[in-house]
Amino acid sequence: MARAWHLKSRPDGMPTADNFELKESDLPPVGDGMIRVRNRWLSVDPYMRGRMNDVKSYVPPFQLGQPLEGGAVGEVVESKAQGFSAGDLVLHMGGWRDEAVVPAQAVRKLPDLGAEPQQFLGVLGTTGATAYFGLVDAASAKEGDIVFVSAAAGAVGSVVVQLAKAKGMTVIGSAGGADKCDYVRSLGADQVVDYRARPIVKSLSAAAPQGIDVYFDNVGGSHLDAALAVARNRARFAICGMIEGYNQREPTSLRYLMRIIAARIRLQGFLVFDYQPRMDEFYREMAPLLKSGAVKSRETIVDRLEQAPAAFLGLFRGENVGKMLVRL
């Protein structure tokens, strides 16, 4: 028997524990080309909130009464697929459960980069790749740029801060509360603004008297508006996430949108999935930075499968510093 979290009901606004149900079920047989994986680490991510709505998006919605999915790292316990044997550590999308039977072609063996397994769900996984490709590709950030990153204590944001510093940029990070701000400062950010302390447009203007060249947006809403207000000519915004809007239906209200014209600002939405063909480039860049300590991996770990929904809900209450993970 395996246990998996199912979507019991679709959230209306902010999700609650009632939307989730942990159910036991028999695993399907391990057919040719399949492997059975015992999960060790599960990823919970803000984007999963979008999949809980019944709307078409870049990934299909979760189905009611079906198991949830998500990134996971586990150990192969049974294999009928060439190239995989019991004991292999693998990355796959059969998360939110303790054991999964998955087709080998949807599984990646952890590359040998001298890293911890759970880092492939974080700084060496989707999280780190989001930071890397958002910064260098979507925002075309380069040495000398002044970079503003929101949710800088979060999984993606904390990697953006460190990557940007490692690449010779000036970094301003935003976070909520003194502890998180201290953490962002410890990552090397040149300036940190506490968006809970006063309106972000005021604190950002003070922190960036010369304006910003790049904005890495994890938040949307008033953060995006503040970035528009202080953007320098030809600023580039990488639009990665808008967590402010995931649980609410209010439209985004932008007072400074019109500056996009006078300052020739570029806004570029992006999805990390598009960069799969460039993962080797990412590993090449990131592995040495991790090894040298220029980029540090920080995780908030919640233990036990039973706590997966609580870990997920915590993302929207700002309970994580760095990557939020569930350890089985």
Q: Is 108 in the site for its own copies (CB under 8 A)?
A: no
CA distance 201 to 253: 13
Please give the size of the binding site for its own copies, defined by CB under 8 A: 31
Question: Are the C-beta atoms of residues 214 and 222 closer than 8 Å to each other?
Answer: no
- Taking CB under 8 A as the criterion, the residue among 140, 252, 300, 307 binding its own copies is 252
Binding mask 181-220 for its own copies (x = CB under 8 A): ---------------------------------------x
- Taking CB under 8 A as the criterion, the residue among 179, 269, 288, 306 binding its own copies is 269
Question: Are the C-beta atoms of residues 43 and 125 closer than 8 Å to each other?
Answer: yes
Q: Is 261 in the site for its own copies (CB under 8 A)?
A: yes
- Taking CB under 8 A as the criterion, the residue among 53, 140, 186, 268 binding its own copies is 268
Nearer to its own copies, 270 or 316 (CB): 270
SS3 at position 281:
helix
- Nearest approach, Cβ of 241 to its own copies (angstroms)? 7
The DSSP output letter for 190 is S
State which amino acid sits at residue 134. G
Span of 102-110, 112-120, 198-206, 244-252 interacting with its own copies by CB under 8 A:
244-252
CA distance 97 to 39: 7
Tell me the pairing of strands 72-79 and 34-43.
Answer: antiparallel
- Taking CB under 8 A as the criterion, the residue among 58, 178, 198, 304 binding its own copies is 58
Q: Is 278 in the site for its own copies (CB under 8 A)?
A: no
Q: Is 263 in the site for its own copies (CB under 8 A)?
A: yes
- Taking CB under 8 A as the criterion, the residue among 104, 139, 265, 315 binding its own copies is 265
CA distance 151 to 158: 8
- Please name the helix (run of DSSP H) or strand (run of DSSP E) that holds residue 23, with its range, or none: strand 20-25
Phi, psi angles (nearest 5°) of residue 55: -130, 150
